[in-house]
Amino acid sequence: MCGIVGYVGHKEAYPIVLKGLKRLEYRGYDSAGVALLNGGLKVYKKKGKVAELEESVVGKDLHSNIAIGHTRWATHGEPNDRNAHPHISQSGEIAMIHNGIIENYAQIKRELVAKGYSFKSDTDTEVLLNFIDDIKQHNECSLEEAVRIALKRIVGAYCILLIHKDDPETIIAARKGSPLVIGIGKGEHFLASDASPIIEYTKEVVYVNDYEIAIVRPDELILKNLGNEKQTPFITELDMELAAIEKGGYDHFMLKEIFEQPQTIYDCLRGRLDADKGMITMSGIEKYAEQIMNANRIMIVACGTSWHAGLVAEYIFEELCRIPVEVEYASEFRYRNPVVHQGDVIIAISQSGETADTLVAIENAKENGAIILGVVNAVGSSISRLSHAGAYTHAGPEIGVASTKAFTAQLAVLTMIALKIAHKKGTISIEKYSILCKELAEVPDKVAEVLKLDDSIRLLAEKYKDAYDFLYLGRGYNFPIALEGALKLKEISYIHAEGYPAAEMKHGPIALVDEHLPVVFVATKDAYHEKVVSNMQEIKARKGKVIAVITEGDTVTPSIADDVIILPPAHEIIAPMLSVIPLQLLAYHIGVAKGYDVDKPRNLAKSVTVE
């Protein structure tokens, strides 16, 4: 959640921080603000998007070589001006921004109120800030030391940046459970929640670890742990280009990212899959191949769209590898005291690699002796560092809040892992292995073919944009795709939608069917196809509107459905990477037709780093 940016150096800080906030706005857009030093500590903040902040400071003297900025996804306190970050301490000496949630803020607030502190906001952030300020004043210590003392008491997740009115060359930062990356320039440093605000200025970055404090000056970066011991910064070279975080002529990032999928899937497969030779090379998996082959079970933990990718993977692993698979919501897994044995394999799926619930879930599983495999997009992220091994999806930056290209890249990686293990284990014939490798290699070209349906899907969206509800149905490998289609529509258009196994429709949801209800069937050719056609007949008998996603050559469904979307043929294991594309486009075009900001849907943020 929340985007944070900081700069200290020889340049004007405000323009750098403002541009960074615009690039991080997908992390939250309830309010925005900046703090800088200009004849004292100045804070400007505004409810709404970054553009509203920018408009509100027109004509003000914003000269400064140090600044911190924040774009908020509201947790404590409603979105308004007074709850916007940065906050200023009661002494007026310190400004702070914060991403995360302080769980024991209420107890600390009571203690501060007893000491005479009053609060101008409803946030846990202001409590932490005044706690730090109180420690600094009563112990007559440095801001760095006050932060260290305070964080030993704090329970929760945080990434904080602080500046002091008497120190125009220092930003103090710290993190636990919320990401922080520091870009290293010549006589300057950049701080941000992820690399997108930094890539324009430098490719050398340091990913700050949990429980570390950073003291950042123009010519100096010092990392320390909470025990005041210096840590050696590990400098990483960013593998990202500026063009990847620009719209590139598209109206929205979401549409750009949908249309990038032929390339992102190709990038995911490149260097790993050699279909002609029947070889899959994944060094991160090979090291633990024996343990995966011999695992009693695989547990997949994820949230949201990544959870749907895990559901598809459940079908794939069980069919190809003959290993039992359980797919868990990370938010439930972490709290229910799950049974995890030594040698169990946990696959953690996350686009950002920072999803709070998934992080805690795999930390707990790792402590119990499980092998952790990470499937993430963001290089250097917390999940990638916590995992024993895994694979990056190489989808590139995903700016649109609703995940699209990350999902198909996750499916590509998970399919390769399953094929590799099945081949090594001997639970799949050489012939089937070869067929699936070749079909997987053909996915980028087939996705490009599906994207040619964009204009017809836009017309379909116009037809159904005023519906109040949608039902998405599928069986087998297509059931998770029905769930994902429904989620996309909810996220982008705010239309209520539900995904169900097609056979479960008769156990309740069929009561919703009338002449106003569009029902989307993911009905590509597979072992369940005849059963799904029967389910369509049941909807039509009750006057429901049927939209069917089918395979080229299907002569039966078009005579039943009101509208059809025809896809290239593919093996049922591979088909989800194709069948999800029209559902992404349908959600996008309905959202646009309804006049919504599809890149920044209400109440949502890209990376969920709080509970």
Residue 189: closest CA among 204, 177, 168: 204
Instruction: Calculate the CA dihedral of residues 279, 280, 282, 283 and round it to 10 degrees.
Output: -20
Residue 109 falls in the annotated catalytic set: no
Residue 158: closest CA among 135, 140, 175, 134: 175
What's the Cα-to-Cα distance from 149 to each of 103, 131, 180, 228, rounded to whole Å?
17, 10, 20, 10
Q: 3-state secondary structure string, 136-171?
A: HHHHCCCHHHHHHHHHHHCCEEEEEEEEECCEEEEE
Dist. CA 270–CA 216, nearest whole Å: 38
Dist. CA 456–CA 330, nearest whole Å: 37
CA torsion through residues 61, 45, 209, 599, sign: negative
Residue 587: closest CA among 443, 460, 447: 460
Q: Per the residue annotation, which of 2, 159, 268, 321 is the catalytic one? A: 2
Residue 321 falls in the annotated catalytic set: no
Q: Is 499 in a helix, a strand, or coil?
A: strand
Is the previous residue joined to 79 through a cis bond, with omega within 30 degrees of 0? no
Q: Per the residue annotation, which of 22, 46, 600, 606 is the catalytic one? A: 606
- Output the six-digit token pair for 205: 């970055």
Strand partners, 280: 273
DSSP letter at 215? E
Give the list of residues 6+ apart from residue 552 with CB closer than 8 angstroms, or none: 566, 567, 568, 569
> Active-site positions?
2, 606
